[in-house]
């Protein structure tokens, strides 16, 4: 398929006699080199239904959804210069949801899909590699899967899907638009923008690791209107409020270290969905981040101060031009002929160095807010709960993610360490704001 | 619903609080707290001092950074040139050995000026970059008192190499599909430079051309380049090898 030279970086799909294949998007391109079975890069969205999952119907729904999202039904292959995604010619099957989430799934292993669907009892979970998509793309797939599952059970959605409020839920009979798998970063490459200022190394929590293959998830449910009221009272958004709570917890951990840490910055990464700034229908990765940072050499800050500072830091950075500088740096790198001409085995080494320098070493943790989960009214009564679980990280050890569902705000902490101190400090701070918090840890109950 | 007495969070039917490990009061009334108190008063000392430094890096554009780098380079070179010249005059009473490092500084400075200061579309940038090497070599010839090696050997090799490199760069830029062909162009360029170097060395030393090592190098490189060109334009275009070698 001939591709216009100016569009070569944007369109990821190509077809040859072996079938379709896709380039990785600009954010995903680094992931294969830095993921393994533990730091799997898999984030997870899970829902609990009002009855046990019918495995046969789930597999049928999964086949239909994978057929509608062919650009997700792929596995990773090595080229001479780049990784690429090879179209799978079979339908995926759901796996039992046993053991820890987002573990023991290495996309670098031959024939491994870039996502997996798991189910157990009433629960359906989808785990997506960040090499393939971000939370928005993963959620679109999950919603389509759930709606299709219920359609096979004879439950009507009760609203028109594929448009309006439910435009990210695709009727399975429709054909994918080529914009769904375009590289949004390359589409909105701003040209020669000054690159962002370098970030200092951030402090990381040090604590004994859980045995390999274990990833603990602590989930908390809060009353969404109450959290909204608290945020409004302070004239900040929920994400800003939670970012400040996270900084507050990290600050307490930093000062509780017996020896003064060498790295005196604590930093929380807040992922930003770029679809709010730049027009695209892509379901591939299209998010970047803002860092909330505090210098601990200046002394501990009170919580109110942290909230204000988180608010202003977010407001300053959360604008298209600031974000475009990150796009210019990242997308510009993969456009550079010298970079492109480097063989993949050398790129892998460089990617690991870059990831260490520009990636997780500059953040102490992240909290990703996926926003509100909207499902058609016919489906809503059949769902008991939802959760969005962050991808595991061997550098930051513990991270958090947030999703809103009906009147609940669900915060999930995923951790590779025995220590629950960060989670404890985080939720105790929320309690100190008179917010009711209901906490569960599946590991303790199973 | 049961609450953790220490953390204050609702913990359902969990045997222990997921956060601090305290026993669920429903399962044991006298729950032991192993949840140390965490509040701001834990860190009184840290809340007092405000002596830390907060030196924020200045926000600069790429051009501004380049300009600063060029300025620093210019000042450093000027100091070095003045110091070297003065020492040379002080010791030898005239400018002699210092001319070599001074000319090298000028060479690097002109190149830095072309790359750091002049715009990418400026013709003067390329003229300066191209002429810088031959002029530096001529200057060295002048200082050694024998211009012949510079004029007959060094300058032709440098100009020839620059022409070949420019040719390779243009070929790469104008390629409609970039992949293994880029590697092929680079190999051809390397072979040509080897041939050129031996040709000029032969002419300078013996007055005639008798190709040896460079011909062997070229014979090894050119077939590989041809094979890569074949793979790129014939095989990778019509089979799925294109995905393997996509650049």
ipTM > 0.90, yes or no: no
DSSP symbol at A360: G
Span B88-115, mean pLDDT?
Answer: 92
The SS3 call for residue A20 is strand
B85 SS3 class:
helix
Q: How far is A298 from chain B (nearest CA, A)?
A: 5
A11, two tokens: 């369109």
Q: How many whole angstroms separate alpha carbon B218 and alpha carbon B214?
A: 6
Show residues of chain B in contact with A23, CB under 8 Å. 246
| 3-state SS class at B227 | helix
Q: Which pLDDT belongs to residue A34?
A: 92
Q: Decide the pairing of beta strands A365-372 and A383-389.
A: unpaired
Give the one of A18, A79, A218 whose C-beta lies nearest to B246's C-beta. A79
Q: What is the C-alpha to C-alpha distance for residues B59 and B116, in angstroms, rounded to an integer?
A: 18
Whose structure tokens read 């990290």?
A250
Q: Say if the Cβ atoms of A436 and B182 lie within 8 Å.
A: no
Nearest to A216 by CA among A389, A432, A18, A437: A389
pLDDT score recorded for residue B233: 82
Question: pTM for this one?
Answer: 0.74
Q: How many helices (H) and strands (E) does chain B have?
A: 9, 0
Higher pLDDT residue, A166 or B146?
A166
pLDDT of residue A367: 97
Which residue in the set B1, B21, B43 is minimally distant from A300, CB to CB? B43
The reply to whether residue A299 touches residue B176, judged by beta carbons under 8 angstroms, is: no
pLDDT of residue B48: 33
- ∠ CA(B196), CA(B201), CA(B205), 5° rounding? 155
Of chain B, the percentage scoring pLDDT greater than 70 comes to 84
Alpha-helical regions (H) of B113-234: 123-144, 147-149, 155-174, 180-206, 213-230
Helix axis angle, B213-230 to B180-206, nearest 10°: 160
> Residue range B72-80: average pLDDT?
95
Residue A264 Cα, gap to closest chain B Cα (Å): 10
pLDDT band for A92, please (50, 70, 90 cuts). Answer: very high
Is the distance from CB of A167 to CB of A60 less than 8 angstroms?
A: no
* C-alpha B24 chain-centroid distance: 60
- Residues A431, B245: C-beta atoms closer than 8 Å: no
Q: What is the mean pLDDT of chain A?
A: 93
User: Do the chains contact at B10 and A195, CB–CB below 8 Å?
Assistant: no
Contact across the interface for B242 and A423, Cβ inside 8 Å: no
The residue written with tokens 């024998």 in the block is B146
Spatial separation of the C-alpha atoms in residues B94 and B130, rounded to whole Å:
32
Closest residue by Cα to residue A12 from B34, B112, B154, B243:
B243
Q: What is the pLDDT of residues A402-445, one digit of tens each?
A: 999 999 999 999 999 999 999 999 999 999 999 999 999 987 76
Query: Per residue in B182-198, pLDDT tens?
Result: 889 999 999 999 999 99
> What element of type H or E holds A117?
strand A115-120
A to B CB pairs, distance under 8 Å:
136
Give the separation between CA B205 and CA B193, rounded to whole angstroms. Answer: 18
């Amino acid at each position: 398929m001939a591709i216009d030279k100016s569009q070569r970086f944007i369109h990821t799909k190509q077809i040859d006699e072996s079938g379709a294949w896709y380039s990785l998007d600009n954010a995903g391109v680094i992931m294969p080199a830095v993921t393994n079975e533990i730091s799997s890069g898999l984030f997870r969205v899970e829902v609990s239904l009002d009855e046990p999952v019918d495995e046969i119907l789930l597999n049928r729904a999964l086949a239909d959804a994978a057929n509608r999202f062919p650009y997700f039904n792929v596995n990773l292959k090595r080229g001479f210069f780049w990784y690429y995604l090879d179209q799978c010619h079979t339908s995926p099957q759901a796996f039992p949801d046993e053991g820890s989430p987002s573990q023991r799934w290495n996309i670098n292993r031959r024939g491994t899909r870039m996502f997996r669907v798991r189910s157990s009892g009433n629960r359906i979970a989808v785990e997506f590699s960040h090499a393939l998509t971000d939370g928005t793309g993963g959620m679109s797939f999950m919603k389509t899967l759930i709606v299709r599952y219920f359609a096979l059970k004879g439950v009507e959605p009760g609203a028109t899907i594929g448009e309006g409020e439910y435009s990210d839920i695709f009727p399975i009979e429709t054909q994918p638009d080529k914009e769904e798998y375009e590289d949004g970063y390359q589409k909105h490459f701003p040209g020669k923008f000054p690159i962002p200022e370098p970030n200092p190394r951030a402090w990381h929590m040090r604590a004994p690791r859980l045995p390999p293959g274990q990833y603990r998830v602590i989930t908390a449910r809060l009353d969404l209107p109450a959290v909204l009221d608290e945020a409004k009272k302070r004239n900040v958004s929920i994400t800003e409020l939670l970012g400040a709570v996270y900084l507050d917890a990290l600050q307490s951990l930093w000062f509780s270290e017996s020896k003064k840490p060498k790295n005196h910055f604590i930093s929380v990464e807040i992922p930003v969905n770029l679809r709010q700034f730049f027009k695209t229908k892509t379901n591939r990765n299209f998010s970047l981040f803002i860092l909330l940072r505090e210098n601990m050499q200046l002394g501990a800050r009170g919580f109110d101060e942290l909230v204000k500072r988180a608010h202003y830091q977010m407001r300053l950075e959360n604008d298209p031009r600031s974000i475009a500088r990150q796009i210019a740096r990242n997308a510009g790198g993969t456009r550079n002929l010298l970079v492109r001409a480097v063989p993949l085995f050398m790129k892998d080494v460089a990617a690991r160095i870059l990831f260490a320098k520009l990636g997780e070493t500059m953040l102490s943790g992240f909290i990703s807010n996926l926003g509100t989960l909207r499902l058609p009214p016919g489906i809503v009564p059949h769902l008991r709960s939802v959760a969005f679980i962050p991808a595991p990280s061997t550098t930051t050890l513990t991270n958090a993610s947030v999703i809103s569902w009906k009147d609940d705000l669900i915060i999930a902490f995923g951790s590779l360490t025995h220590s629950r101190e960060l989670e404890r400090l985080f939720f105790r701070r929320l309690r100190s704001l008179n917010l009711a918090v209901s906490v569960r840890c599946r590991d303790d109950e199973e | 619903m049961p609450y953790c007495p220490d953390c204050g969070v609702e913990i359902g039917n969990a045997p222990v609080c997921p956060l601090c490990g305290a026993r669920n009061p429903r399962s044991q009334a006298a729950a032991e707290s192993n949840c140390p108190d965490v509040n701001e008063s834990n860190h009184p000392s840290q809340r007092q001092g405000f002596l830390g430094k907060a030196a924020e890096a200045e926000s600069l554009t790429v051009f501004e950074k380049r300009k600063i780098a060029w300025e620093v380079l210019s000042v450093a070179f000027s100091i070095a040139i003045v110091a070297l010249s003065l020492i040379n005059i002080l010791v030898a009473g005239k400018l002699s050995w210092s001319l070599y490092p001074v000319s090298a500084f000028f060479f690097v400075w002109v190149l830095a000026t072309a790359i750091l200061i002049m715009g990418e579309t400026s013709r003067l940038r390329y003229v300066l970059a191209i002429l810088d090497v031959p002029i530096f070599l001529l200057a060295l010839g002048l200082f050694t008192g024998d211009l012949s090696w510079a004029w007959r050997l060094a300058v032709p090799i440098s100009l020839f190499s620059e022409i070949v490199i420019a040719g390779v760069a243009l070929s790469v830029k104008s390629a409609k599909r970039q992949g293994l062909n880029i590697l092929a162009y680079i190999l051809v360029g390397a072979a040509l430079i080897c041939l050129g170097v031996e040709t000029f060395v032969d002419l300078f030393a013996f007055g005639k051309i008798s190709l040896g090592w460079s011909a062997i190098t070229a014979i090894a490189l050119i077939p590989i380049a041809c094979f890569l060109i074949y793979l790129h334009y014939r095989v990778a275009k019509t089979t799925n090898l294109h995905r393997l070698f996509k650049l």
